[in-house]
Structures are given as structure tokens and as C-alpha cells.
Amino acid sequence: MRILIISDGHGAKDPLDRLGPVMKDADAVLFGGDFAEVGKPETGKPFLERLAHAHDRVFAVTGNADDPLFRDSLDEYDISIEGSLSYYCGLVLSGSGGGSKFDGTTPNERTDEELVRDLHLVAECAGDENPEEENSVKDVSSGELWNNLILVIHNPPKDTKLDVITNGAHVGSPLIRDFIEKYKPLLAVSGHIHESAAIDKIGGTTLINPGALFEGKYAIAEISGGGKKPFVIDSIALESL
């Protein structure tokens, strides 16, 4: 399946419209947060409406520029995966919204503990003793790869190519990194750090920050597998409009 990965729209509907042909060819869309322009929360809803109508299979989280209550709007359009589990073609998707606490100038800054708490259902399901059942999750207690899990997390994991700001500091989440190391998802999507559009790895997990959509950046992943075949990422690439 072909997955379109975007993040950080910041209210700019024109790049979203220009993605039309790419969107049409995608089986699903992952959006890593920041619907609204910084300081202009009213720009989030028009962007959300445009995105929700552009594709019928969108999985999204809020960003640090979005009001915390904006999560309710995502629920209204049935695209939020914050604090929940969603299922699509054998894949399990879960997400964490908002960004790490910084200077308090954006409305959805959260503690590291709050960020990782959004993923609690993944942790709870990790002890599943009946992985053969429908919509069941593979037991990871043995350290085996949870092969069908995709995380969408606005704040990137710490000490990767995805969390480096212009002065060279790594500003990602230590607890999100710990979570990825423990549960070994297939793919972890983040955004937030505009200057760190990149692809990286933590163990066997592929990480990607597609860059900011308002700057014309996006990514495409090709994923195959399902049934008796393990899921694999056949290709993943950063792209620009």
C-alpha cells in the first residue's frame, strides 16, 4: 500500500491543494500535527476540513500549535488516533499529540510523561495472549518486533536525525524514544522540527519527519505484507512540491 506522510500544515491550504494528484494515488494519509498557524488557532479548522475532505482515510494527531481542545474537532471528523488504536488493512495505528514543553508560546506543550501516556493502549495490548484473534496485537514481551504497528507522534524521539534544531541541539522526547525501543513499531512518524526533515532508524523501526507541508514538503512510503506475510517498508522517501 502507498502511504502519504505529511505534517505541519500551519493553516496553509494551498500546498494541501497542490498535493491533490499525490493524495489521489495514496491508500492512506498520515498527518503528524500542527493544523493551525502559530498564534492563529482559528486557522486550524479550515485546514482540517480541507484535509478531511481530500482523502477518506486520514490518521492524524494534533500539534503544539493546535489548541488542546482541537482534538475534539479531529474526533468529529473521525481522523484522530491520539490515545487510541485504529486498524487499517492489518496495520495498527496509534498516536501522541502536542509538543514538549519549551517556552510556553504555543498552546499544546506537554510533559514527556503526557506525550507517552497517549500511547497507553499500545502498552496495555502488548501483553495480549491471543495474537491470532482478529484485531489482536502481537505479544512483544519476548522482544519480538510488533510488525504491524505505526505510531504518529508530533514530537520526535530524542537523539535522532529528526529532532535537531538549528543550533545542533537534540530536542526530542526521551520517553518517546524509550517507548519505540521497547515496543519496536514498524514505522514512527513525527513532525514539529521543521529543519529536520529526515529518515532514520531506532533498531528495526523506521523513523520519518516529512518536513513541513506549508513549505511544500511531504513523504511517501510503500508498505507490503499482511496475512501470513510480515509487513515491510519497501521504500520510503522525502519529497517536495
11, 49, 180 from 43: Cα distances, Å: 5, 11, 32
Q: How far apart are CA 3 and CA 201, in angstroms?
A: 18
Average pLDDT, 10 consecutive residues per value, the chain (241 residues): 98 97 97 97 96 97 97 96 95 96 88 95 69 41 66 97 94 95 95 97 97 98 92 97 96
| pLDDT for the residue 146 | 67
What is the predicted pLDDT for the residue at 124? 86
Give the chain's domains with CATH numbers: 2-240 (3.60.21.10)
Question: Which pLDDT belongs to residue 52?
Answer: 96
Cβ within 8 Å of residue 134, ≥6 positions away: none
> pLDDT value at position 227?
84
**DSSP for residue 209:** E
